[in-house]
Structure 1
Amino acid sequence: MRQFTTVVQFSDDEFLRDVGITREQFLEVRARVASFLEEERTRRPMTTRGKQTSRLPLEDRLLLVFTYLRHYPTFQQLGQQFGISESYAHKLYERYRGYLVHLVRLPQRHALLAPGLTALLLDATEQPIERPIHRQRASYSGKKKRHTINAQLLVGVFSLQILAVVCGQGRTHDFTLFKQAHLPIAPQIEVSADSGYQGIEKVHSNSQIPIKKPKGRELTAEERTYNRALARVRIAIEHVNRRCKIFRIVKETYRGKHKHIGLTWHLIAGLVNLRYA
């Protein structure tokens, strides 16, 4: 049976590869959750009356959640690893995912108006999902030729911290998703995006996108130089995408309820910020 007392003895590199965050960061999250649960018991003592305490210690319950996020097994496999039933593994995951989303959260939307913020990177990535039962066409991506969700990240250029995540259905164009989000980006902040955001300067005038090759002629040397310089800046957000997809739950085909995808992406973004703070 998988236990934290065994995993904690791994080397620093093995622990990071197995859990997704460092040992110190895991213990920090554990302290936050323990403090939150204690506050809840003090604030609402009647809600836990008569409830049995889980036979898994808090460290193992959190390890269960991180194992699911990092490796994305089925709940049957997860239950077998921790010596509990499939249904109880699912119940623990749902409960503690809610705690973690609350405790490891992204900056509020007003962080995009912070005076010290001068430049942002914008990009979207698609994640495959199981074919929906209803409204399948809305989730079908013509680009990927399968059903997907579109996760759009807004990242600070210098800190590489994820400031906002917006999720939409696979059929939704990147630029359409950006417009629908109505993110409060200050006018003086420079936004760098890829060529999928043609027309973004009409929404946010201080934006940069690559220059597309005009029909019938080649790009000039100055235009190619500009595109290369922009690509050197924008490559950082691809590294942030890679950091997120270390957690297999946002890389592999999503098997959960589609209404929870946004919640999952926000949790992973918060954990990535914690890992690379």
Structure 2
Amino acid sequence: MKFAETNRLCRKKFKRLTGMSRRNFYLIVNIIKEYEKKKNKLGRPCRLIPEDQVLIAIQYWREYRTYFHIGCEWGVSESMVCRTVHKVENLLIKSGKLSLPGQKELRKLSDPDTVLVIDVMESPIERPKKGQKGFYSGKQKEHTLKTQVIIDLKTKKIMCLRHGKGRMHDFKLFQKSQVKLAKTIKLLADKGYQGIVKIHELSEIPIRKPRGKNYSEEQRKYNRELGRIRVAVENVNRCLKIFKILSYPYRNRRYKFGLRSHLIAGIYNNDLGSKA
């Protein structure tokens, strides 16, 4: 569906199709238009208008079909779809308009009312030819890439991401990421983060079941309340996985996975509170 048809859709249908608001869509289009104005006028002009170029890239992230199938739909070659997707991705990264706050911003946080929630999202990948053992997730029973997500509980904004292989333990990934927080910031995590209190004192994790005993009523109540709060980060993971490139088996070069997940997280952040 080309831009002329897509633009006729109502707000809800547009977001269902693209995974983002119109405001976010036009932000990306303007980045492409700025590039088209600045670049040299030599050579053959692109057959696709900036809006259609962005739609092709979005369609690839959102549906994760092959370049061949997308090319057949748009009446262009497979290689042109590939070049268009890479072009849009590279321009968005260079622009910095979809960048995440990152660990520098995390270090600056000091408000005692700030609560952060951490979780790990797993994305399946095709079985690697080499080093399969390192990517095999015992939890998912398949080869995966892990993405550590830290969000601000109040705003639901993604603060930073960190990636690791499927075999790496969630807590090990946290240690490797070297996230540093002010002592006044509260951090909520799941049972996989046993020992996190030694690194960040103001951390809360569910109480483990005592060996050979049952939970007390108070322990059940505490775990239930913590789980009710922590579900916010699960909802964020679900929003990211609307883009099937993060939920379907990842077929591309693994070094590109981080770039794409950061872009999608930036799109999610930019859409918070948006109705356009």
Normalised-by-shorter TM-score class: over 0.9
Alignment correspondent of 1:197: 193
Secondary structure of 1:127's counterpart equals strand
Q: Structure 2: how far apart are the matches of 1:139 and 1:51? A: 44
Alignment map for 1:69-218 (pairs within 5 Å): 69-101=61-93, 102-112=96-106, 113-116=108-111, 118-218=114-214
Q: Structure 2: how far apart are the matches of 1:204 and 1:141? A: 26
Q: Structure 2: how far apart are the matches of 1:36 and 1:51? A: 15
Q: Structure 2: how far apart are the matches of 1:95 and 1:103? A: 16
Q: Structure 2: how far apart are the matches of 1:106 and 1:51? A: 35
Deviation at 1:10?
Answer: 1.2
Alignment correspondent of 1:62: 54
Q: Does 1:219 align with 2:215?
A: yes
Alignment correspondent of 1:230: 226
Letter in 2 for 1:12: R
Q: Structure 2: how far apart are the matches of 1:186 and 1:37? A: 44
Letter in 2 for 1:33: I
Alignment correspondent of 2:258: 262
Whether contact under 8 Å (1:33, 1:103) holds in the other structure is: no
The alignment covers a number of residue pairs equal to 269
Secondary structure of 2:245's counterpart equals helix
Letter in 2 for 1:129: I
Alignment correspondent of 1:7: 6
Residues 1:201 and 1:36: Cα distance change in structure 2 (over 3 Å): farther
TM-score (structure 2 length as normaliser): 0.93
Deviation at 1:35?
Answer: 3.2
Letter in 1 for 2:245: I
TM-score (structure 1 length as normaliser): 0.93
Alignment correspondent of 2:25: 26
- Measured against aligned partners, the alpha-carbon deviations of 1:186-208 in whole angstroms (never above 9, x if no partner) come to 22111000001111111111100
Deviation at 1:223?
Answer: 1.3
Cα RMSD, aligned residues only:
1.5
Letter in 1 for 2:252: G
Whether contact under 8 Å (2:24, 2:267) holds in the other structure is: no
- Measured against aligned partners, the alpha-carbon deviations of 1:108-158 in whole angstroms (never above 9, x if no partner) come to 322112234711000001111001111111101111111101111000010
* Identity percentage of aligned residues: 36
Q: Structure 1: how far apart are the matches of 2:221 and 2:43? A: 65
Letter in 2 for 1:108: G
Deviation at 1:32?
Answer: 3.5
Letter in 2 for 1:115: S
> What runs of 5+ residues in structure 1 fail to find an aligned partner?
none
Residues 1:53 and 1:114: Cα distance change in structure 2 (over 3 Å): farther
Q: Structure 2: how far apart are the matches of 1:125 and 1:205? A: 24
Deviation at 1:36?
Answer: 5.1
Residue number among 244, 251, 255 corresponding to 2:247 in the alignment = 251
Deviation at 1:242?
Answer: 0.8
Alignment correspondent of 2:272: 276
Deviation at 1:49?
Answer: 5.8
Deviation at 1:248?
Answer: 0.7
